[in-house]
Structure formats: C-alpha cells, structure tokens
Amino acid sequence: MTETSTQPPTGKKTQRPFEVFRPMKAIRLNCLDCSGDSPKSVLWCGSDGLHSPRCHFWPYRFGSRPETIAERYGPTLVTPDAMPSANVCEDDLPNGMEAAAAFLAERQAAGKADDD
C-alpha cells in the first residue's frame, strides 16, 4: 500500500487566498484603510474614546505597541487626554511623529485644554 502525502508536490508553490500579516502591521493597515490611506489622519485619529466612540485599535494605530511609542516619542501620542478635540482642523495640526509629539508636549506643558 502506498502512502499519499498531504504536502504539495515539490517545486510547486501553493497560493494563499490572502496575505498574512503580523498583528501590529495588520492593525496599522486597518487604520490606514479606515482613514482613507492618510498617515496624517491615522496620527490624529479621534477614535480615542474621549472625543468620539472608542476604537480598540487606537493605541496601536502606529503599528507598534503603545509602550514603544511612549518610549520613542513621549506618552502624549498614546494619551487620549493629550489629543486635540475632534473640531480642530487636521490641516492645522503638524505632520509626522516627532512634530506631533512636540506639538502635544508643548500643548500639555501650556496646560491647554481642548481647542474649542
């Protein structure tokens, strides 16, 4: 009796029906999809639970753990209280992680509440 193998024949590639990502990358891609492929919109996402309904991906929207972001850029980027309110025009906010972290730290140091 011969054994039948469940393995694909040697030399042939098996195609996956979809691409598999690590969880953090998948969350980042989901956030980009949700924001219309705008990294700036992901950076200033208002779904933090304070300014709008909470998205469970919000702390992970950068594709890294919140602790890692806090170590690199300071805790303001992963603190809902530090984020500006939803009625602030995104065009008036800085672009990029370093600039955003500096903006939020300066805003927090000044004791500024939501920009209403």
Residue 28 lies in a domain: yes
Note the pLDDT of residue 86: 79
Distance, in Å, from the CA atom of 31 to the CA atom of 78, rounded to the nearest integer, reads: 15
Residue 37 lies in a domain: yes
Residue 2 lies in a domain: no
The string of pLDDT tens digits covering residues 80-97 is 988 988 788 999 999 999
Domain span including residue 36: 23-109
Phi, psi of 61 (to 5 degrees): -60, -20
Residue 1 lies in a domain: no
Phi, psi of 74 (to 5 degrees): 100, 160
Note the pLDDT of residue 16: 62
The fraction of the chain above a pLDDT of 90, given in percent, is: 55
Residue 114 lies in a domain: no
Phi, psi of 66 (to 5 degrees): -55, -35
Number of domains composing the chain? 1
Residue 43 lies in a domain: yes
Residue 57 lies in a domain: yes
Q: What is the CA radius of gyration of the chain?
A: 20
pLDDT band at 116 (very low <50, low <70, confident <90, very high): very low
The string of pLDDT tens digits covering residues 27-51 is 999 999 999 999 999 999 989 888 7
pTM: 0.75
